[in-house]
Structures are given as C-alpha cells and as structure tokens.
Amino acid sequence: MNKLQMNKSPKFSKSYKPQADNNEQITTAVLLAAGIGHRLLPLTNNMPKCLTKVNEKEILAHLVYSLHLHNFRRLIVVVGYLEQDIRQFLDKIAGNLIIEYVVSTEYRTTNNIYSLWLARNKIKTPFVLFESDLVFAPFLLKNMLYPDRIAISDILPWMNGTTITADPEMPHNVTAFNLNSLALEANINIHDITYKTVNIYSFSLETWERVAKRLDQFISAGKVNGYYETVFAEMIADGSLNFQSILFAKERWYEIDTVEDLHACEKMFLNPILPSLQPKKLHNPMQQQLVS
C-alpha cells in the first residue's frame, strides 16, 4: 500500500460536541455492495466481498450488528455481484431491520458513483452511507447518527486513498477533498491539516438532493466508472456541500481491500487492549445471534 504523509495536526477537542440541525437520529442506512472485490481474490471468487469473514464473522454481520445497536430501522443495499448470496445472508440476520434492494446489472463496468446514483429513488429520508469493506468498533458510529457528517481518522502507514483537508483552527470543518494521495504533499497547504476518510457519511435530505443532482450530471456525461468522492470534492470546492467531521480512533477501524488488509484487521481487533467489535452486554436475541 502507498504510505500517506501528513502535517502534524492539533488534536480534536475532547470537549467538542457535534451540533445537529435537529435532534432526530438517522434510522436509514445505505450500503454499496455491488462490486466484485478484485483485490480480495481468490477469496471473492465465490462470495461477495461483504461476506468475507473477520475473526469468524462476516463484514456484513459486523455492520448489521452496529445498525441494530444504534436502532436503525431500514437498510438499502445496492447489490450486483453474487447478489443472491447477500440476500440470503440478510434474510437470516436482518431481524426487524427492513431491507430494500437496488440491483446494479452493470457492476462489472461501473464503480461506486454509479451504485450511489442507482439508490437515489429509494432515498426518502436522511441516511448514513457505508461501503461494504469496512469493519469498525460499533461505538464509533454514535456521532455519525445525525445529518451531514463525515467520518475521518488520523493517518496510519497502511492507509491510502482519499483524504480531507481541514483548517487547523476549526478541524471539524472540511475544506477540501484530496483525491490523489500520491500527490498529497504537493496538494496540501502547510497551514492546513489532513485526515483519512473512513468512507462513512451522513446526509440530510436537503444535502442529498444537491448531491443527487450533481450525480445526475456525472452519470449523464458517462462518468459511471468513477468514485462518488469526485462529486463530493467538486461540491466542497464550490461551496455547495458541507460536512462536519467526526474523528474515528485510528486503531479501531479498518478498510479491507486485500488479503493482507484482512489479516491486519483481524490482528487489530484481537488486540486485548482495544475494545471488542461487539460489546459484551447484548440487548436482544438478534444481537446474540450475530456474536455467538
């Protein structure tokens, strides 16, 4: 993996409390799970990426556990590759979570920008957006349950991909998306600070309507094999999108792209000094099913 470098940054204030536009917690999640997961081959030869196991539990099981824990009611899943496997798995563990599917028949030739665009007609309420290759400690999701937020992390050597830039005086406010990590040092103002995106976002309906219109423009122009981060970057640059950043502990989440990532993730969450992926106290039989 490409190692990212970052400027020394001030710590997020421990007294900081994110302000919500309203006190209503988001209860809808959108999961993008259409892709093949080429970099996880051969594990994904016969199974979707989200059903890869981390410490004997599927990535999707870890997510559904977190959704139950935080009282989500609805999960919209964009499926494509081996979609029936995902449907059958969710049938077993969904419990009272309402599952709705969007099918991408073009999953072999498109990317996450197209998957998110496909979900537009299903999205009628504020929602939290997830990628299907993330594992994180469930408690981290708490501050992402309100609209227009982005999960970020301090940068570790294993991380690559998109980063965000923030003003050091107001580090919770995102000022830019950096899409090309290889050119990171050249693109960062020395007065700013840089964090890795975790690929969890929350949206109000008002914000989503603006994003959906921009997605329409990209898809209409045939840009179906790109990343939705390109849209976010453009909108943040022109002032039409604002995210409030939520800091995830860098040792308590992992993005699994390769077999090496998978092994590193398992090792991270077996570390006894770190919180378990699942709290010891379970609140209902469904949670017991997911961790037993």
Domain ranges of the chain: 28-291
Asked if the model's pLDDT at residue 282 lies above 60, the reply is no
Model pLDDT, residue 179: 84
94 φ, ψ (degrees, to nearest 5):
-65, -30
Q: Are strands 28-33 and 74-79 parallel, antiparallel or unpaired?
A: parallel
Residue 180: pLDDT band by 50, 70, 90 thresholds?
A: low
pLDDT cut 70: percent of the chain above it: 80
Q: Torsion-angle region of residue 162: left (phi > 0), alpha (psi -120 to 50) or beta?
A: beta
> pLDDT tens, 6-41?
444 455 544 445 554 556 899 999 999 999 998 898
DSSP 238-254: HTS---EEEEEPTTSEE
Average pLDDT over residues 222-250: 95
Inter-residue contact 12 to 58 (CB < 8 Å): no
SS3 of 25, please? coil
Query: Taking Cα atoms as reference points, which of 141, 154, 157 lies closest to residue 200?
Result: 141
Inter-residue contact 155 to 83 (CB < 8 Å): no
Q: How far is CA 251 from CA 53, 62, 230, 261, in A?
A: 19, 17, 27, 13
Beta bridge partners of residue 77, listed in sequence order: 31, 101
Architecture per CATH, domain 28-291, reads as: Alpha-Beta Complex (3.90)
Model pLDDT, residue 116: 98
pTM over 0.75: yes
Instruction: Check whether the bond before 42 is cis (ω within 30° of 0).
Output: yes
Asked if the model's pLDDT at residue 291 lies above 90, the reply is no
The whole-angstrom separation of Cα 142 and Cα 176 is 24
Residue 230: pLDDT band by 50, 70, 90 thresholds?
A: very high
Asked if the model's pLDDT at residue 4 lies above 70, the reply is no
Average pLDDT over residues 236-264: 93
Average pLDDT, the chain: 84
Model pLDDT, residue 2: 40
Average pLDDT over residues 213-235: 97
- Residue carrying structure tokens 């991380």: 159
Average pLDDT over residues 76-80: 98
Q: Torsion-angle region of residue 61: left (phi > 0), alpha (psi -120 to 50) or beta?
A: alpha
> pLDDT tens, 89-134?
999 999 999 999 999 999 999 999 999 999 999 999 999 999 999 9
The whole-angstrom separation of Cα 234 and Cα 175 is 11
Residue 43: pLDDT band by 50, 70, 90 thresholds?
A: confident
Average pLDDT over residues 220-225: 97
- Residue carrying structure tokens 């799970």: 33
